[in-house]
Structure 1
Amino acid sequence: MPGWEGQKPQPRTSRRHWSPPTASPHSKASPFRTRIDPALTVDEVVRQLVNSPTLRLTGPSLITNENLRKKIKNRINLKLVNSPAQEAREIAAKLKHRHHDKSVRLALTLFSLQKYMKEEPFSKEFLECNGLDELLSVIDEVTGNALAYALTAIQNLMERPFGWSSLSSSFILRVVQILSSSTSPINVCRPATAILKKLVEAEPSTSADVYRYGFGVVFEQMRKERGFLETVVGRLGSADTAMAQYSMNLINAMLTHFIHELERLNVRKAVIRLMSLAEIEELTSCILDFQANIVNVTIKKKDTLVDPDADATHALAMKLEEEYDEHGQVLKWRKLGFETEEIPYEFRDTGLLGLECLRSFVEMDSDFSMLMLEQLSRPAEKRCPIAKASGEVVELLLAHWAAFAPGYSTTTTFQPFFLEFQKVHSLATHFFVRMWAESGAAVSEDFGRVSDLVRSQIKASLKNEHVRQWHEVEKDFNSEYQRVRDRQMLELELEDKILTKVPVRNLRAKLYKESYEFVKQQRIQCLLQGAWFVNAIPVDAPPPRHPGRRPHRPWRFMRLDNTHKYLHFVDSAVKFPVRNGLEDLPDRIDVSMISEIVTGTSFTPPNVLRDSSDLPAAPMSNVPSPRSFSLLSAHEGSLSDMIAPDESRWADWTDGLNMLRRDGGHVSSKETASFVHALTEIGLKIKLLDLSAEINDLPDGLTAGPPPLNQDFFFSEIISG
């Protein structure tokens, strides 16, 4: 029954009706042709074809009121099958009486269930028939492919904000047990991983009943299975790219809760290995999300005040012998280069991050005792303040990686050395100590001069880190003083020294955040206006028997609605003026279904005009278009494959859609990153115009002094003017 649309709708009385008196929906019937008015609803079409409320139309996918018009235009063959409600009742009944069925038949039932669960009418009826409870019982009983189908059905159900608020703790434990076992098949682990990620992200909320889980609920079951995290991290090295991607997404969801445990398992090294793979297009987005999450974790540590009783403090103190100065006061932390013995005060600027980096520096250096003896053997004015140098390097590295605005990452490249923050810190701190000695620094005023040298070296050594090897960085940090100094002098000719001052760096951080928000709103406005794209052919396009992925109409206009929940679109043979609103856009994509936006994934189809000026059609290339992008779903593959008309439109949409994602924290285009950078620098220069003529005397910061020793003090009143 191929769909067909004439030039003019025919009168209803002239349509051919088909009503076999005895044929069931499962009978093998001969195909026939008929006219279907696309203005009708699906139910009305079915009533005209067969007077039965238990049937529905289907094709390669479910036919709905929203996509009926499109399917008819594309001349898709349609079939009459059981209605979603009828299918749901039958499958729920089969699950209930599964013990009377052969295991093969149960597996076939579950295979159908995972597909039907994507359909909202089916899932609602399935829940009404108590099908979910039966499905959860099945999950406790089956293994292998049957278990994979059952878990995928749950995964598909959880794509909607209803119907899964009754998942029990025993079910969550079952999923955790599956993921904790290193022998669980990959096809079982994939949906199990996706389910657990969804549960972790379902923090309690009033927006929907299903948001009642969150990390705390899931953690109660995780703690019952030893080795859970180790196994999940280990799957990052899976040869199955989808499995690595699912695991990466789960780790991103748990990262802020499990940071210490994941750090202990060297999750950063596992991600760095993924970065080094030659072909990781599918993993790029989740790796950049992980990178942005690590930025947030790093800044949170920097902002966390140091507790004098913290374990890290005690571990560091064990490396230092306590002595007394000439006044009989304890001399321990001052030996390391601090100004006082008050640990919280000394780490006031770098927080817990500074403490952990200093501890790592001490523990990674097997000759640290010799280094301390060397410094203590020198006159007091010639000693390098190692602890102070360590804190300075922390701030220099944060400034280099622009890691001063948590949640606002515009990097479009991998930063493997940022994930090795403590390792780079240790290398740069040793370089600081060496530059102090080789430059003959002897007084406190020289600290800033040496700091400038180190900043210059960090910039040079870590440039283009995504293509550099670690041994190259180590070699750079072994450069001699005179070589570093000569390069620095060349840099100073092009750079105003004021830009490196702490107050200016803080101002830049504030402006960076404001610039990011401005560009984000601009990108989303572009989505709200809408744009035309070419319907592309994906690299992994299926054979012709699956026509859904091959574009029947070359052009697609897409627009985001005002709620930011749906992308509405229309496919057309030619471009036409699209009115404001959504009346001209009959189809839509749920934004929440978009798990990833990947780029460079599709070919330009043949016989598509290059632009609206009607230039000759371009032949199909065997190289994916650099302006192509695909909207991927976690379990349905690509929702849309498109090619933007120009670089600007490509940047607007790929970055705008990434910024809409709940778990997105990165941008895809260098254009967006350069816009944020340019706005930040322009704003900074404008702000600096307000400074006085004595700009070179801008201090690096204000010293508040040590805190009072007791409470015998008061604040004086400040009288203005």
Structure 2
Amino acid sequence: MDELPDVETLVSGLMSQSESARKYAVFRLQSLLGDPDFADAFMQGDGLLALRDAVMQTSGNTQAYALGSLDRLLELDMGWECVDIHVIEKAVSLAIDQQLVNIVRNALTLLVHVVSRPLSGSQKESSGLFGFRAVKPALDHHPDFLESLVLRLSASDHTLCANALQLINALLRDAIVNGGTHEWPRFIKRLQDLGVIGGVGLLMRGDATTDAGSPLAAAILEFQCLTMLLLKKWKEAAVHVEMHEHKKALKTIHLLSRPEPYNPPEPSEENPRKPARKHHPEKWRRLGFETESPAWEFEETGYLGMMDLVDFAKRNEDQYHKIILEQSVHPLRQRCPLARASLSVTLILYEHFDIEAMADEFEHAGRRNDLQRRVLEAQDEGTIDRLYRPLLLQWARLHTAALNTWLRIWKASGADMDDFYKVEEAIRIIVERIVGATTRRTEVAKVEDELRTVTLEEARRWQIEGLDEVYEDAWGHHLGQVREQLHLESLQFMKEQRIRRLLQGSWFSTSAAGNAGWRFVRLNPNRRWLHYGQYPSHGANTPALDELTEKIDLNFVTSVDSNVSPPEKPAPLTNGSNGSTETLTAKQRKSQPTTKVTIIGHHPPSKTYKLTPVQSEPVETPLLELYPQASWVASEWLDGLLMLLDQQPITKDTTRLVEMMEDWGVRLRMLNLRWEDVDWQAMEERAKGGAEAGNRKVPTREGLDDDYWYALPET
């Protein structure tokens, strides 16, 4: 094994005129400079100047090793004195033009160190070699650098992709944190125009993110976190109409609506003075703002809300103009306020992606090592797919799709201004269901299609399901007791309904073939006897009870068996005009039955039927076979007979109806619950793991009554 060369030997090799000696020296330096003690000795041995010359003057692998050695020093926060504008210029030019991957990797890493160099306040004032402004002169000489940087994101070498993305992240972070009010939005827009969103999105949906050991996985996650930080910064930027950018944005919103020229009324005897107003008195309200001073309406969304509205108007100029025209013909209270809806969608998306919390967490602890740890933890837990949110990068397209959904829901529901917050809640639920159900590989086009086709009925159903979760969280064990009670009540109700159907009677075929005749079966009002009679054909009228010559004593019925198939249609709650005897068509009567209900028991003792001495107990035997013409009729008779025998119902129809009544019963009971009905102290103790909790102050109901109404959603 070769002995490690000393500092003097390596410095001599760097200064040698021999290419092989230089190459060997920088090759060994790459690994040795990872040791802080050796790096300190190298600096004291005047090796830094020789290393700089190797970076500037060599080529090929020698230059790649020289750049790698300098990168090792910069990682230890050493050697900064040799990183001047010329070295930065060299690194930028190599990153653009060089074909050797090793050189490009190390050149990009050097630029990452420069842009993200941690400096104190005094150092920042005395040195320009940090952040975006350190590389800006070189970028001015190479205007195609950012474009080449974005193109590197599609390279087949993952390490090269990672280095390129790390530099983009460093530039973004510095632009967000240290950039001027006007500089960083322009720089970020330029990156977006070059396709950085699409490039990172492809990486995020690819297999590279699943390799927790790859630096690319952490770089992708950092870009996602920086996007959240950027959205947060835009939201916190207040809108001021005096600022050029904000004034220009408002003007864009106005002009893209294609307003008609406004001619103020001429002076008259009543108003002899010429009006001072030069624009339409509803210039901003016609766009969906609440007042003619729209700036304050961006208070919650900040500049982010303005950007989203401008982006919607620009991307959909014809549609934007058409919407404004369509709304203008409606009465004022029935118009969908487009601007307010846009701002609301911005907040819904902001809350859905939990931007505030995620951005704060990253801002305080979002360094590369922390991100790598998060990737490793997610991989261990099997939650790697939930760590990445590629749809977050498609913010503008999501906003446009959700806003279009808002407009559809507003129209479909016939909403007016009083319903604004109801529609807002429906859109919040839709976004939560559709966007929240996506995976890392879900394409934004699929989400747009689902948002385009979601119906008001689906939104209402999701809303009801959401109420269940809220109630369950709020009332927990109370709901359990209510459900248990309502389940028993619903069963009792269904028992009575099913037995009433038996009391009305039904027609049945006497054979599976359906061609041997008919039988009418009916329960005696005393509920002790089942009467039936044989008929050659299906009668138009219901036979009277005394016409049914045969009967079964239910005291001797032990069980009921059946092969009931899945329901053909929901079973009616009452017979009424849609009973089995009134809805059977001629075609249905001729169709073969698909179900059979068998009443099983033993014959009562009689002169013709007596137990033999060998028989200690009566033998069970089929007493009557029924062939219903539809499965829902079979469900009524099968469950009706079972419940008459104090047994549990077994068919899907009956179970579904019991569950439906139980569910609506819970909802209606919730309307009667008052704040003081809930044991808040017990709930708080459970939430705190049994710890003591103080009594919550109960709001007064003074001046309130129980006069309310509740609209059931359509089903």
TM-score w.r.t. the length of structure 2 is: 0.55
Aligned counterpart, 1:264? 193
User: In structure 2, what residue type is equivalent to 1:272?
Assistant: G
1:130 paired to 2:59: no
Aligned counterpart, 1:441? 415
Aligned counterpart, 1:319? 256
Out of 443, 459, 464, the residue aligned to residue 437 of structure 2 is: 464
Deviates more, 1:305-314 or 1:200-209: 200-209
Distance 1:341 1:190, change over 3 A: same
The alpha carbon displacement at 1:330 in A equals 3.7
Aligned counterpart, 1:486? 461
Contact 1:271 1:287 survives alignment (8 Å)? yes
Equivalents in 1 of 2:326, 2:221: separation in Å? 43
Distance 1:110 1:481, change over 3 A: same
How does 1:344-359 map onto structure 2 within 5 Å? Answer: 344-359=295-310
Equivalents in 2 of 1:220, 1:344: separation in Å? 37
User: In structure 1, what residue type is equivalent to 2:302?
Assistant: G
Aligned counterpart, 2:57? 141
Structure showing greater radius of gyration is 2
Aligned counterpart, 1:291? 224
Aligned counterpart, 1:111? 27
Out of 378, 402, 407, the residue aligned to residue 354 of structure 2 is: 402
User: What CA deviation, in whole Å up to 9, does each residue of 1:414-454 have, x standing for no partner?
Assistant: 11111111110110011111111110112x22000101110
Aligned counterpart, 2:424? 451
Contact 1:337 1:386 survives alignment (8 Å)? yes
How does 1:151-300 map onto structure 2 within 5 Å? Answer: 151-181=67-97, 183-205=98-120, 213-215=129-131, 216-256=133-173, 257=175, 258-280=187-209, 281=211, 282=214, 283-300=216-233
Contact 1:350 1:391 survives alignment (8 Å)? yes
Contact 2:398 2:448 survives alignment (8 Å)? no
1:413 paired to 2:342: no
**Structure 2 segments unaligned to the other structure (5+ residues):** 176-186, 266-274, 363-373, 379-385, 475-683, 705-715
Contact 1:161 1:208 survives alignment (8 Å)? no
Contact 1:299 1:404 survives alignment (8 Å)? yes
Contact 2:49 2:82 survives alignment (8 Å)? no
Aligned counterpart, 1:502? none
The alpha carbon displacement at 1:487 in A equals 2.4
The alpha carbon displacement at 1:110 in A equals 2.1
SS of the equivalent of 1:162 reads: coil
1:378 paired to 2:351: no
How does 1:500-579 map onto structure 2 within 5 Å? Answer: none
Distance 1:687 1:385, change over 3 A: farther
The alpha carbon displacement at 1:151 in A equals 0.2
Contact 2:13 2:21 survives alignment (8 Å)? no
Equivalents in 2 of 1:454, 1:441: separation in Å? 13
Distance 1:214 1:250, change over 3 A: same
User: What CA deviation, in whole Å up to 9, does each residue of 1:191-224 have, x standing for no partner?
Assistant: 1111111111114327999997321223333332
SS of the equivalent of 1:489 reads: helix
Contact 1:461 1:476 survives alignment (8 Å)? yes
Aligned counterpart, 2:532? none
Q: How many residue pairs end up in the alignment?
A: 428
Equivalents in 2 of 1:335, 1:687: separation in Å? 51
The alpha carbon displacement at 1:356 in A equals 0.8
Distance 1:429 1:95, change over 3 A: same
1:306 paired to 2:239: yes
Contact 2:285 2:292 survives alignment (8 Å)? yes
Aligned counterpart, 1:338? 289
The alpha carbon displacement at 1:284 in A equals 2.2
Greater RCO structure (CA 8 Å; 6+ sep): 1
Distance 1:226 1:333, change over 3 A: same
How does 1:686-701 map onto structure 2 within 5 Å? Answer: 692=699
The alpha carbon displacement at 1:325 in A equals 8.5
Equivalents in 2 of 1:694, 1:474: separation in Å? 46
The alpha carbon displacement at 1:462 in A equals 0.7
The alpha carbon displacement at 1:475 in A equals 2.9
Equivalents in 2 of 1:93, 1:312: separation in Å? 62
The alpha carbon displacement at 1:164 in A equals 2.4
Deviates more, 1:140-149 or 1:202-211: 202-211
The alpha carbon displacement at 1:392 in A equals 0.5
Distance 1:497 1:243, change over 3 A: same
Contact 2:63 2:103 survives alignment (8 Å)? yes
SS of the equivalent of 2:80 reads: coil
Aligned counterpart, 1:92? 11
The alpha carbon displacement at 1:240 in A equals 0.3
How does 1:615-694 map onto structure 2 within 5 Å? Answer: 692=699
Equivalents in 2 of 1:445, 1:482: separation in Å? 20
User: In structure 2, what residue type is equivalent to 1:484?
Assistant: A
Equivalents in 2 of 1:278, 1:242: separation in Å? 14
Equivalents in 1 of 2:263, 2:694: separation in Å? 48
The alpha carbon displacement at 1:236 in A equals 1.1
How does 1:5-24 map onto structure 2 within 5 Å? Answer: none
Equivalents in 2 of 1:245, 1:688: separation in Å? 55
**Structure 1 segments unaligned to the other structure (5+ residues):** 1-58, 60-78, 500-678, 698-721
Instruction: Determine which structure has the larger helix proportion and give its number.
Output: 2
Deviates more, 1:247-256 or 1:386-395: 247-256
Equivalents in 2 of 1:418, 1:448: separation in Å? 25
The alpha carbon displacement at 1:691 in A equals 8.0
Distance 1:445 1:690, change over 3 A: farther
User: In structure 2, what residue type is equivalent to 1:447?
Assistant: F
User: What CA deviation, in whole Å up to 9, does each residue of 1:274-297 have, x standing for no partner?
Assistant: 012134312222211111111110
Contact 1:324 1:330 survives alignment (8 Å)? no
SS of the equivalent of 2:285 reads: helix
Distance 1:122 1:269, change over 3 A: same
Contact 2:70 2:79 survives alignment (8 Å)? no
